[in-house]
Structure 1
Amino acid sequence: MPCFIALSPHFPLNFRLFWSRLQAAGIAVLGVADEPWEALGTDLQQALTAYWRVDDMQDLDALTAACQELQARHGKIQWIESHNEYWLETEAELRARLDVAGPRPEQLTMRKRKSGMQEAYRHAGIPVAAGGLVTSWERCQQWRDALGYPLVAKPDIGVGAAQTYKISSDAELEAFWQHKPDQDYFLQAFISGELYSFDGLVDRSGRIIFCGSHHFSHGIMDVVNHQLDLSYYSLREIPPELRHWGEKTLVAFDVRERFFHFEFFLQPNGQWRALEVNLRPPGGWTLDMMNFSADIDLYQVYADLIAHGAVADFAPQRRYHVAFAGRKERVYRLSHEEIMTHYGQFLVHQASIDRVFYPVMGFQGYLLRSPDLDQLQKMIAAIQEVR
Structure 2
Amino acid sequence: MNIIFFSPHFPQNSTYFCTHLKNNGANVLGIGDTPYESLSDPLKEALTDYLHIKHMDDYDEVLKAVGYFTHKFGKIERFESLNDHWLELEAKIRTDFNIYGTKLDFVYDVIHKSKMKKFFEKCDVTMIRSVKDVTYTKAAEFIKLVGYPIVIKPDLGAGASMTSKINNDNELNQFFEQKPTEVNFIAEEFIEGNVLTYDGLIDRDGVVQFEATHLFDQSIMTVVNTNDHLHYYCLKDVPPKVRHAGQNILRSFDIKERFFHIELFESKKNGNLYALEVNMRPPGAWMTDAINYSYDIDIYKEWANMVVHNQVITPKEGTYYTAYASRKDHKHYVHSHEDLLSTYSPYLVNYNRIEDVFSQAMGNYAYQFRAETFEKVQSIVSFVQDEMRN
Question: Which structure 2 residues correspond to residues 306-317 of structure 1 after superposition, within 5 A?
Answer: 306-311=307-312, 314-317=314-317
Aligned to 1:325, the other structure's residue is in SS state strand
1: CA distance between counterparts of 2:132 and 2:206?
30
Match of 2:145 in 1: 146
Match of 2:55 in 1: 56
Q: Is the 8 A contact 1:217 1:230 kept in 2?
A: no
Match of 1:258 in 2: 258
- Deviation of 1:144 after TM superposition, in Å, equals 2.6
The 1:270/1:135 distance shift into structure 2, 3 A limit, reads closer
Matched, 1:20 2:26: no
- Deviation of 1:15 after TM superposition, in Å, equals 2.5
Match of 1:215 in 2: 215
- Deviation of 1:104 after TM superposition, in Å, equals 1.2
Match of 1:74 in 2: 73
Q: Is the 8 A contact 1:327 1:364 kept in 2?
A: yes
Q: Is the 8 A contact 2:124 2:245 kept in 1?
A: no
Which digits, 9 at most, give the CA deviation of each residue in 1:118-175, with x for residues without a partner?
A: 2211232421210021254332333233222111111011110001111122222222
Match of 2:192 in 1: 192
1: CA distance between counterparts of 2:108 and 2:131?
14
Match of 1:291 in 2: 292
Matched, 1:320 2:339: no
Match of 1:88 in 2: 87
2: CA distance between counterparts of 1:27 and 1:222?
42
1: CA distance between counterparts of 2:188 and 2:37?
46
Match of 2:364 in 1: 363
2: CA distance between counterparts of 1:117 and 1:23?
34
Question: Which structure 2 residues correspond to residues 95-114 of structure 1 after superposition, within 5 A?
Answer: 95-114=94-113
Q: Is the 8 A contact 2:333 2:385 kept in 1?
A: yes
The amino acid across from 1:310 in the alignment is Q
Which deviates further from its counterpart, 313-322 or 83-92?
A: 313-322
Q: Is the 8 A contact 2:202 2:209 kept in 1?
A: yes
The amino acid across from 1:195 in the alignment is V
Give the root-mean-square deviation of aligned CA atoms.
1.3
Q: Is the 8 A contact 2:326 2:364 kept in 1?
A: yes
Which digits, 9 at most, give the CA deviation of each residue in 1:211-237, with x for residues without a partner?
A: 111111312111111222211111122
Aligned to 1:124, the other structure's residue is in SS state coil
- Deviation of 1:341 after TM superposition, in Å, equals 1.2
Q: Is the 8 A contact 1:204 1:310 kept in 2?
A: no
Q: Is the 8 A contact 2:295 2:315 kept in 1?
A: no
Identical counterparts, % of pairs = 36
Which digits, 9 at most, give the CA deviation of each residue in 1:176-199, with x for residues without a partner?
A: 223212211111111111121111
Q: Is the 8 A contact 2:260 2:279 kept in 1?
A: yes
Q: Is the 8 A contact 1:135 1:185 kept in 2?
A: yes
Matched, 1:331 2:323: no
- Deviation of 1:303 after TM superposition, in Å, equals 1.3
2: CA distance between counterparts of 1:136 and 1:149?
16
Match of 2:169 in 1: 170
1: CA distance between counterparts of 2:208 and 2:8?
25
2: CA distance between counterparts of 1:318 and 1:384?
26
- Deviation of 1:109 after TM superposition, in Å, equals 2.5
The amino acid across from 2:202 in the alignment is V
Match of 1:353 in 2: 354
The amino acid across from 1:174 in the alignment is N
The amino acid across from 1:226 in the alignment is T
Q: Is the 8 A contact 1:293 1:321 kept in 2?
A: yes
The amino acid across from 1:8 in the alignment is S
Which digits, 9 at most, give the CA deviation of each residue in 1:312-355, with x for residues without a partner?
A: x5434301111111111111111111111111111111110101
Q: Is the 8 A contact 1:111 1:277 kept in 2?
A: yes
TM-score normalized by the length of structure 2: 0.96
Which deviates further from its counterpart, 122-131 or 140-149?
A: 140-149
Which deviates further from its counterpart, 116-125 or 181-190?
A: 116-125
Aligned to 1:13, the other structure's residue is in SS state coil
- Deviation of 1:79 after TM superposition, in Å, equals 0.5
Matched, 1:47 2:35: no
Q: Is the 8 A contact 2:196 2:216 kept in 1?
A: yes
- Deviation of 1:46 after TM superposition, in Å, equals 1.0
1: CA distance between counterparts of 2:81 and 2:26?
15
2: CA distance between counterparts of 1:331 and 1:10?
33
- Deviation of 1:14 after TM superposition, in Å, equals 1.9
1: CA distance between counterparts of 2:70 and 2:108?
29
Matched, 1:9 2:27: no
Match of 1:30 in 2: 29
Q: Which runs of 5+ in 1 are unaligned?
A: none
Q: Is the 8 A contact 2:131 2:138 kept in 1?
A: no
